[in-house]
Amino acid sequence: MSEPDIAIIGAGPAGLIAAERLAGAGHRVAIYERMASPARKFLLAGRGGLNLTHSEPLDALLDRYGTARAWLEPAIRAFPPQALRDWADGLGAESFTGSSGRIFPRAMKASPLLRAWLARLDGLGVALHAGRLWRGWDESGALRLALRDGSIETVNPRATLLALGGASWPRLGGDGSWVELLQQKGVAIAPLRPANAGFSVAWSALMRERFAGQPLKRIALSFAGQRVLGEAMIDAGGIEGGAIYALSGPLREALASDGEATLTIDLRPDLSEADLASRLAKRRQGETVSNHLRKAAGLSPVATAVLREGTDGPLPAEPNVLAQRIKAAPVRLTGMASITRAISTAGGIRTEEVDDDFMLKRLPGTFIAGEMLDWEAPTGGYLLQACFATGVAAAEGIGRRLSSTF
């Protein structure tokens, strides 16, 4: 079999979209995937509704990438949310915008879209080789691929795209083993850390036993000057959920430097402190605190339990003080979930190692896309948007390089 023009290592969204673009331009493309089947993490993400991207204005969306915005902006502007929607719709996904502004395929699953996508790639002549673990390069510069029987294959393409993901959910393929291989080549890599993960809380026994698995709905979380509206979930060991994930970056850094971090929860973000105090002042004689908080403040039992956590005695009876606590209930975080349980990964190949075409400066002809790059973003469609956009950008860069080397 003839060598491919382009070898893509990793069959996640970044690698697959790059393969589609390159094969559509007439290149011979082969994908090499560690797992027995492609896009395992993509399929897992689709179990609860595949959140492809977000409908908010592009500048607001770009701000979600924090310090990586300047790096990712050209790629995302070239392949923005509408382009991703158009692509998904072309595969029969019929995307729609949910009430939160998130964009989903009508089927709310990844599997129908992936089946149609793989059929398109097959029609374009893309070869998919599963059960191949990338193990760097041999002395001649050929790619080394370990098979399950222990043997080694070598491939010598004209260009290589590495799209191996981060290190979250390693059982689905992305185990971060590429870090050492690239560091051996002198590539600078920011340490891989968990992102979009839950945090540990030393809950009371009552909290663990009665309220684990219950959601905190319609709340606002605040930390380090940032405020996020959303929901969270109590578990026996701590707290997780979309609103928590949106603050996971600064919370993680605070834990790393201080060993702990105190998050504040506004349990009634729709009411002002003054309105709450007015309602709480109208307590009936003999009414229990729990009933009073349920009726006057609209707090659920789990919200009331969170309010009680960390208090040495009863909740304050004075309406103004109680209202103040409802608007800023403190929760002390003592740790973060491991990277193996995180939704995504922070850290990766540093900005200065990659040129404008997403090619490694130290390894001409080797390109990078997706979560291997040093960026992070909250859930809400921002993760997939950047993976797709950098995959497209890297494909464009590969195309330009191959055109210039004829």
> Could you report the per-residue pLDDT of 103-124, keeping only the tens digit for each?
999 988 899 999 999 999 999 9
Q: Are residues 86 and 231 in the same domain?
A: no
Q: Are residues 51 and 109 in the same domain?
A: yes
Q: Are residues 257 and 373 in the same domain?
A: no
Q: What is the mean pLDDT of residues 259-279?
A: 96
Residue 77 lies in a domain: yes
pTM: 0.93
CA atoms within 13 A on the CB side of 318: 4
pLDDT exceeds cutoff 60 at 406: no
Q: Label residue 405 by pLDDT band (50, 70, 90).
A: low
- Among residues 302, 319, 336, which one ends one of the domains? 336
Q: Is the dihedral of CA 172, 30, 90, 54 positive or negative?
A: positive
pLDDT exceeds cutoff 90 at 285: no
Q: Label residue 287 by pLDDT band (50, 70, 90).
A: confident
Q: Are residues 177 and 76 in the same domain?
A: yes
pLDDT exceeds cutoff 60 at 348: yes
Extended beta strands in 236-275, E state: 238-240, 261-266
Q: Are residues 143 and 109 in the same domain?
A: yes
Residue 75 lies in a domain: yes
Domain that holds residue 181: 6-194+344-404
Which has more pLDDT, 365 or 109? 365
Residue 372 lies in a domain: yes
Nearest to 368 by CA among 72, 44, 38: 72
Residue 249 lies in a domain: yes
Residue type, 90: G
CB-based contact 198:235 (threshold 8 Å): yes
Average pLDDT of every residue of the chain: 95
Q: Are residues 77 and 190 in the same domain?
A: yes
pLDDT exceeds cutoff 80 at 370: yes
Q: What is the mean pLDDT of residues 262-289?
A: 93
**% residues pLDDT > 70 (the chain):** 99
User: How many structural domains is the chain composed of?
Assistant: 2
d(CA 380, CA 242) in angstroms, rounded, equals 8
Q: Are residues 228 and 371 in the same domain?
A: no
Q: Which residue has the tokens 């998904």?
A: 88
What DSSP line would sit under 182-241, residue for residue? HHTTT--EEEEEEES--EEE---HHHHHHHTT-EEEEEEEEETTEEEEEEEEEETTEEES
Q: Are residues 144 and 207 in the same domain?
A: no
> Nearest 5°: CA angle at 370, between 389 and 81?
25
147-186 pLDDT, tens digit per residue, is 999 999 999 999 999 999 999 988 888 899 999 999 999 9
Q: Are residues 169 and 41 in the same domain?
A: yes
197-207 pLDDT, tens digit per residue, is 999 999 999 99
Residue 1 lies in a domain: no
pLDDT of the residue at 44: 87
Q: What is the mean pLDDT of residues 218-247?
A: 95
Residue 354 lies in a domain: yes
Q: Are residues 98 and 22 in the same domain?
A: yes
Q: Which residue has the tokens 């492609």?
A: 38
Burial of 352 (0-12, 13-18, 19+ CB in 10 A): exposed
Q: What is the mean pLDDT of residues 303-329?
A: 92
d(CA 197, CA 58) in angstroms, rounded, equals 25
22-80 pLDDT, tens digit per residue, is 999 999 999 999 999 999 999 988 777 899 999 999 999 999 999 999 999 999 999 99
Q: Are residues 121 and 250 in the same domain?
A: no
- Among residues 309, 336, 363, which one ends one of the domains? 336
Residue 352 lies in a domain: yes
Extended beta strands in 50-125, E state: 53-54, 95-97, 102-105
Q: How would you classify the pairing of strands 329-336 and 199-201?
A: antiparallel
The count of other CB atoms within 10 Å of the CB of residue 293 is: 24
Q: Are residues 245 and 393 in the same domain?
A: no
pLDDT of the residue at 158: 97
Q: What is the mean pLDDT of residues 320-325?
A: 95
Contacts of 254 (CB under 8 A, 6+ apart): 223, 224, 260, 261
CATH code (residue 143):
3.50.50.60
Q: Label residue 192 by pLDDT band (50, 70, 90).
A: very high
- Among residues 312, 336, 360, which one ends one of the domains? 336
